[in-house]
Amino acid sequence: MIHFLLTPDSSSALKLKRLVAAEGGRTDVIVGSWPELLVHGRNSYILPLDNADWLTLLAEGVEKLKDAFWGKSYGNVKEEEKNTITGIIGEHLTMLLEAAGPEGKLDQLEQLESAPRLKRHVRDLALLHAAMHCALPPQLSAIQQILQATPERTIRSMRVYHTGE
């Protein structure tokens, strides 16, 4: 059993690692922040490789949806600037997917009561996600695979401790 002490950031992790080491340390205690937890969580299971290439699907989806809110500006920029726009759109889609939970379903977000412009942006991002065959960014895909893993795929168990902040 691995005991993972989750910290809010890397500087907190470093302080806690020093404290654990000063108290004698243990081989079954790991200290880290969210990215380290994902790595150790993924390494605790035998999981299939994630075949979806998020960036390729994102670029293809952005290019395909010409009527989306980004369509006019995307169509009028140089080729090298399209990567920047695609990256920004990807960041916003990732934020929405993170808010939607581990399932990565955006269909309920379209029912939000909000300004028409915001509704259109959310709808366009949901359409983009559908055009990407509902692929998830790598970090969310890893979480989904861990949550869906069967007990037979467990290499080692892990207990996560956090401060609750």
* Per-domain residue ranges of the chain: 2-47+149-161, 54-140
| Residue type present at position 110 | E
The confidence score (pLDDT) of residue 127 equals 93
Task: Look at residue 79 in the predicted model and tell me its pLDDT.
Answer: 86
- The Cα–Cα gap between 81 and 74 comes to 8
Is residue 130 within 8 A of residue 58, CB to CB? The reply is no
Q: What is the pTM of this model?
A: 0.76
pLDDT at res. 109: 65
The pLDDT of residue 87: 93
Cα-based distances in Å from 109 to 123, 125, 129, 133, 158:
8, 10, 12, 18, 33
Going residue by residue through the chain, which has 165 residues, state the pLDDT in tens, using 9 for 90 and above.
999 999 999 999 999 999 999 988 888 999 999 999 999 999 999 988 776 699 999 999 999 999 999 988 888 888 889 999 999 999 999 999 988 877 777 776 666 677 888 888 888 999 999 999 999 998 888 888 888 899 999 999 999 999 766
Please choose, from the candidates 38, 3, 5, 30, the residue with its C-alpha nearest in 3D space to the C-alpha of residue 157.
3
Round to whole Å and give the CA distance between 91 and 16: 31
pLDDT at 36: 93
pLDDT given at position 139: 85
